[in-house]
């Protein structure tokens, strides 16, 4: 499969997606969405992939938003489809059974911040900038930003960011709980890879179950979430990986997870 607007690579079990339109600061258009879907088909079909990192090509930008030059020419029906397609891609990204790290190397604005919020967590360079500047264009976020931002940083903080359209630094984004860790630019990739490789050694079954419990549990009441957790806990405990992990601990050796259910 060929890609022109993203770079898709697999490095020893870690998949890497790089947004690759540096002249447009990696702005997302319909082709980028299509290629992201293609890359996700490949990731879903390959059980040897244990983690995914998303980043931007070049030093300046992760993704500077949806492509304004394309959107300006779309009809209302086409714009609704573009928004729904973007949202669907981000739902797919969020539902991948593996850990997904947003490695933010520069501008993550509008659709860029929205992509990072569909990842499991965000590592950012000291030079990264986040924001939902759509209000400055007379529009609103369209890839889930009005929904995920308030869930992540609280309603009033989300409103302030969306209503003012200001850009915030990586440190500010960390202070409000959007970003997990901030690194010097030359250390960011190394740290994201280190985290991805560490997670890639864990059991695939328990990783998937734990990710689903946190994500699905976030949108339901505490009691329903805890029931979900007990079911997943029992399944993981009884799985070959669970048995291997606990036996390895008792035998004082490193576990070798196979990622099989039975
Ligand atoms: N869409 C299309 N092209 C973009 C773009 C975008 N979102 N962001 C940057 N570009 C292009 C610029 O038009 C410019 O192209 P040319 O060289 O052909 O003129 C090139 O990238 C470089 O950009 P600048 O010259 O503007 O670079 P800068 O360093 O001066 O500024 C910036 C950088 C502050 C990020 C500025 O480019 C900017 O404000 N970009 C737009 C950010 C934005 O509003 N994003 C939200 C888009 S709407 C959205 O995302 C909706 C949604 O939720 C789905």
pLDDT per position as a tens digit, 208-240 = 999 999 999 999 999 999 999 999 999 999 999
The verdict on 29 and 146 lying in the same domain is yes
In this predicted structure, the answer to whether residue 122 has a pLDDT above a threshold of 70 is yes
Q: Do 208 and 196 belong to one domain?
A: no
pTM across the whole model: 0.97
pLDDT in tens, 202-216: 999 999 999 999 999
Nearest to 86 by CA among 74, 97, 98: 74
Give me the catalytic one of 134, 172, 251, 256.
134
* Domain that residue 35 falls in: 6-200
In a domain, 256, yes or no: no
Given this model, what pLDDT does residue 150 score?
A: 97
- Residue 262 pLDDT exceeds 60: no
Residue 258 domain flag? no
**What band does 259 get if pLDDT is binned at 50, 70 and 90?**
confident
Give 51 Cα–ligand 1 centroid separation in angstroms.
Answer: 29
Same domain, yes or no: 74 and 176: yes
Q: Is residue 156 part of a domain?
A: yes
pLDDT score of 261: 67
For 131-169, how does the pLDDT look when each residue is reduced to its tens digit (9 = 90+)?
A: 999 999 999 999 999 999 999 999 999 999 999 999 999
Q: Which is the catalytic residue, given 31, 88, 114, 190? A: 114
Question: For a pLDDT cut of 70, what percent of the chain falls above it?
Answer: 99
Residue 13 and residue 75 in one domain: yes
For residue 194, pLDDT beyond 80: yes
Residue 114 is among the residues annotated as catalytic for this protein:
yes
Say what the pLDDT of residue 230 is.
Answer: 98
Catalytic residue at 35?
no
Is there a single domain that holds both residue 181 and residue 230?
no
Read off the CATH number of the domain in which 68 is found: 3.90.226.10
Residue 75 pLDDT exceeds 60: yes
Distance between Cα 72 and ligand 1 center (Å): 13
Q: Is residue 131 part of a domain?
A: yes
At 218, which CATH number?
A: 1.10.12
Q: Which of 193, 214, 242, 249 is nearest to 120 (CA)?
A: 214
Mean pLDDT value of segment 29-47: 97
**Is there a single domain that holds both residue 86 and residue 196?**
yes
**How many Å apart are CA 124 and CA 188, to the nearest integer?**
7
What's the total number of domains in the chain? 2
Please indicate, yes or no, whether residues 121 and 23 belong to a single structural domain of this protein: yes
On whether residue 243 sits in a domain, the answer given is yes
Taking the centre of ligand 1 as the mean of its atom positions, its distance from the CA of residue 54, in whole angstroms, is 19
User: Is residue 247 very low, low, confident or very high in pLDDT (cuts 50, 70, 90)?
Assistant: very high
With bands split at pLDDT 50, 70 and 90, how would you rate the model's confidence at 89?
very high
pLDDT of 31 above 60: yes
**126 lies in some domain:** yes
Query: Residue 62 pLDDT more than 70?
Result: yes
Q: Work out the average pLDDT over 81-98.
A: 98
Question: Does the pLDDT at position 42 exceed 90?
Answer: yes
3-class state of residue 124 by DSSP: strand
- Long-range (24+ apart) CB contacts under 8 A made by 181-186 are 181/123, 181/124, 182/123, 182/124, 182/125, 182/126, 182/128, 183/123, 183/124, 183/125, 183/126, 184/125, 184/126, 185/59, 185/105, 185/125, 185/126, 185/127
């Amino acid at each position: 499969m060929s890609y022109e607007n993203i770079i898709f690579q697999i490095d020893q079990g870690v998949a890497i997606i790089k947004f690759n339109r540096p002249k447009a600061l990696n702005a997302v258009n319909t082709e980028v969405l299509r290629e992201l879907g293609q890359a996700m088909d490949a990731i879903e079909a390959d059980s040897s992939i244990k983690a995914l990192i998303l980043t931007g090509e070049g030093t300046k930008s992760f993704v500077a938003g949806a492509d304004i030059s394309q959107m300006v020419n779309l009809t209302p029906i086409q714009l609704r489809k573009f928004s729904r397609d973007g949202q669907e891609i981000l739902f797919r990204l969020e539902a991948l059974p593996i850990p997904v790290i947003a490695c933010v190397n520069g501008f993550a604005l509008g659709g860029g911040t929205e992509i990072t919020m569909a990842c499991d967590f965000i590592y950012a360079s000291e030079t990264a900038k986040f924001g939902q500047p759509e209000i400055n264009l007379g529009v609103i976020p369209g890839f889930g930003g009005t929904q995920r931002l308030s869930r992540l940083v609280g309603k009033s903080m989300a409103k302030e960011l969306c209503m003012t359209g200001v850009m915030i630094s990586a440190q500010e984004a960390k202070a409000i709980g959007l970003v997990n860790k901030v690194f010097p630019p030359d250390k960011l990739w190394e740290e994201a890879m280190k985290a991805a490789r560490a997670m890639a050694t864990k059991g695939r079954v328990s990783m998937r179950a734990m990710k689903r419990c946190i994500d699905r549990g976030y949108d339901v009441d505490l009691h329903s979430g805890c029931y979900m957790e007990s079911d997943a806990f029992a399944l993981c405990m009884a799985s070959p990986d669970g048995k291997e992990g606990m036996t390895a601990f008792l035998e004082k050796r490193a576990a070798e997870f196979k990622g099989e259910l039975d």
